[in-house]
Amino acid sequence: MNKPPINITPEQAAAHLNPTVWNKVNRLHVRKIISEFAHELLIEPQLQYTENGWGYYVLHTDDPSIEYRFRAKVLSLDHWYIDTDSIWKYVNNNCVAVDSIRFIIEFKKTIGISEAVLPVYLEEISSTLCGSAYMHTYNTMTAKELAVSDYQVIEQAMMAGHPCFVANNGRIGFDATDYRQFAPEAADPFALIWLAAHKDRTGYAGVTDLPYEELISDELDADTRAQFIKILEDLQLDAVSYYFIPVHPWQWFNKLATIFAADLSSHQLVYLGAAKDKYIPQQSIRTFYNVTSPHRRYTKTSLSILNMGFMRGLHASFVLTAPPISEWVNHVVESDAFLREKGFVLLQEVAAVGYTNPHYASIIKDDNSSYNGMLSALWRESPQKRLKPGQRLMTMAALLHVDSYGNALLPELIKASGLSVTAWLKRYLDCYLTPLLHCYYYHDMRFMPHGENLILIIENNIPAGAIMKDIAEEIAVLNPELPMPDNVKQIYMKVADHLRILSIFTQAFDCFFRFLSHILVEHANYPEEQFWKLVADCITEYQQLHPELSEKFAKIDLFAPEIIKTCLNRLQIRNNRKMVDHMYDPFKSQQFAGVLKNPMTIHRTQPVLTLN
């Protein structure tokens, strides 16, 4: 990847913003907006005629003089496969340039976005476009090269962000220099800043057999630890009374050094400096991979920027629950021979430190408030420990990657494996979908298994296993009778019967398989009907292996003819600062619109079980 320098001049900050690239990314983004807004029934393109398998559509805006025309194929799950080059905008029948920001404004009444939300939403759209222009300028690695590349090379090369969200790379709070330093696609390795936090206001939690002293010994070399302790002793402070917390450099300069000024002046917090190891941000932006010492853990820190519907803080009350939750879930997974056979493992969140600012905690009772989530850190296992000789890692998000030349990574990965598309997909589904089904139906546990949350273990360019991460934040247990320790019980989620299917269908099928099928259709000429048959076959095979679960299969029926449609952009348009109000019950905030016709229904092989 031919990246520009990080220490940029004002001129270099906008060097990637030229008309050619800007027009390209706007056209691609408008394609995505139309596809996802039509999927969520926010807009309704009108079919004019069909020709050679394509439908030719017109889309009317709030202004009768403005319309869009394009051709598309509507695939399964109401997915709009739009020919990018066919999108044209007309004003009074005169063709004009396609503009993503103008598109949102032209449809503001139709999509129901409020005057309060619209300006920030447009800022997120503009920032997303700006990042896309950067990536289409500098991310020059081809899909063929990436298919056989190192884990972190692939992670930094991802370009699309979340496949469903239209405003998915807002990162409101970063300036142009911050972007070059800290965005996953742009960053060079950087050091984290460390603070000492007094135990009067700070908590530590670790998994069994990981006391704080061992964690810090693992994560900081002896010289650095000695240097930090000396700083405290020189201030005549007792080092034993403090916990060390890693801090994102942006968070220090933009939040902590000012908002926590009273804490710093009273030595409740003490600045210690940077450690030696360098890190690279992952796609989740506030999680960092240690490139100096890859055997060391991922580090996740508070980062108070607005991105995709949330302020990306880490709340002290939450992070301290993560290690016991992660440890309990990991025990369930590791104790299951079926999951071990499938190569399905978790990255445990093994330790956390959380600091509470008493000034804000006393007046803001909402633990989810951004002011209560400014100073915490979480450590997660390194995925390197899960590899056997000859294996490598790849974010599952890579299966949806299309490079700046318009070529998809997935077909190149399949070619490199030597397998047929069908054979490769069967191996993939067995590594990914089968374990999810088992966790859900056998253990009553649901994860959030979208592309960025899964790391594939690749061997000979073929999936050999799957690693699930972001456990504590997104795990839920759906059975109240399941024995759990008291410090884990908050992950129980009560879900209405008719919504239970969404835990798999929305996250895996609608938010990932829908796009994977599109990639196969557009870039591998692989029939979508064949893909969905493979998914159905995978489910059927699992059901045949577990006849004792037949009542659950019938109650939560993945072959049901219709599924309620969950709408993520509707959530963000309603409130782009806090999409979900209830951390352990997102269904209370969810937005639904219509139903999806299930492409697997025709592949049902088992008779429908009638429940009393």
Q: pLDDT tens-digit profile of 312-347?
A: 889 888 899 999 999 999 999 999 999 999 999 999
Residues whose CB is less than 8 angstroms from the CB of residue 168 and which lie 6 or more positions away in sequence, other chains included: 128, 160, 161, 162, 308
| Backbone angles phi and psi of 382, in degrees to 5 | -80, 135
What's the residue count for the chain?
612
Residue extents of the structural domains in the chain: 10-138, 176-380, 387-603
Architecture of the domain made up of 10-138: 2-Layer Sandwich (3.30)
Residue 149 has pLDDT above 90, yes or no: yes
Percent of the chain with pLDDT over 70: 94
Query: For residue 612, what pLDDT band results from cuts at 50, 70 and 90?
Result: very low
* Residue type at position 101: I
CA distance 69 to 65: 13
Is residue 307 very low, low, confident or very high in pLDDT (cuts 50, 70, 90)? Answer: confident
Tens digits of per-residue pLDDT, 394-406?
Answer: 999 999 999 999 9
Distance in Å from the first CA to the final CA of the chain = 60
Q: If DSSP codes are grouped into helix, strand and coil, which group holds residue 67? A: strand
What does the block give as tokens for 197? 């936090």
More confident residue, 252 or 385: 252
Instruction: For the chain, give the longest Cα–Cα distance.
Output: 80
Asked if 515 contacts 162 with a C-beta cutoff of 8 angstroms, the reply is no
Pick the most confident of 32-46, 278-292, 501-515.
32-46
Average pLDDT over residues 479-487: 91
In the prediction, which pLDDT does 20 show?
97
The SS3 of residue 193 is strand
pLDDT of residue 365: 61
Identify the pLDDT of residue 600.
95
Per-residue pLDDT reduced to its tens digit, 411-438? 999 999 999 999 999 999 999 999 999 9
Which residue in 268, 272, 264, 267 sits closest to 246, CA to CA?
272
Q: Look-up: residue for tokens 């077909």?
A: 411
pLDDT of residue 1: 53
Provide the 3-class DSSP secondary structure of residue 522. Answer: helix
Percent of the chain clearing pLDDT 90 (strictly above): 83
Domain 387-603 belongs to what topology?
A: Transferase(Phosphotransferase); domain 1 (1.10.510)
Question: To which residue do tokens 């600091």 refer?
Answer: 355
**pTM, to two decimals:** 0.94
Q: How far apart, in whole angstroms, are the C-alpha atoms of residue 255 and residue 526? A: 50
The pLDDT of 45-50, averaged and rounded, is: 98
| Overall average pLDDT of the 249-255 stretch | 97
Place of tokens 């937005």: 591
Tell me what the mean pLDDT of segment 32-47 comes to: 98
Q: Is the dihedral of CA 121, 158, 299, 457 positive or negative?
A: positive
pLDDT tens-digit readout, 10-25: 888 888 999 999 999 9
